[in-house]
Amino acid sequence: MRRNDRLFIASIVSLAVYYVLAITIPEFASPIVIVYYILLDISLALGYFGPFIVSFIGNASFLFPMPYMLVTFIVGGFTDIVTGEFLFDPWIVGIVSGFGATLGEMTGYLLGYGGRRFLDEDQRNSFSAYIKSHPRAIPLITWFLAVSPIADDFFIVPLGAAKYPWWKVAIPQFVGKSMFMIAAAWGGRFSLQFVEDIIGNPASITSRTIEVLALLSLIISLYVITRIDWQKLMAEKSDMMSITNETS
User: DSSP letter string over 18-68?
Assistant: HHHHHHH-TTS--HHHHHHHHHHHHHHHHTTHHHHHHHHHHHH-TTS---H
Residues recorded for the chain = 248
Over 90: is that where the pLDDT of 98 sits?
yes
145-190, pLDDT tens digit by residue? 999 877 788 789 888 888 899 999 999 999 999 999 999 999 989 9
pLDDT of amino acid 225: 67
Residue type, 175: V
Distance CA 189, CA 153 (A): 29
Bridge partners for 79 per DSSP: 86
Q: Spell out the domain ranges in the chain.
A: 29-191+229-237
Check if the beta carbon of residue 103 is closer than 8 Å to that of residue 69. Answer: no
Phi-psi region of 65 (alpha: psi -120 to 50; beta: other; left: phi over 0): beta
Over 80: is that where the pLDDT of 115 sits?
no
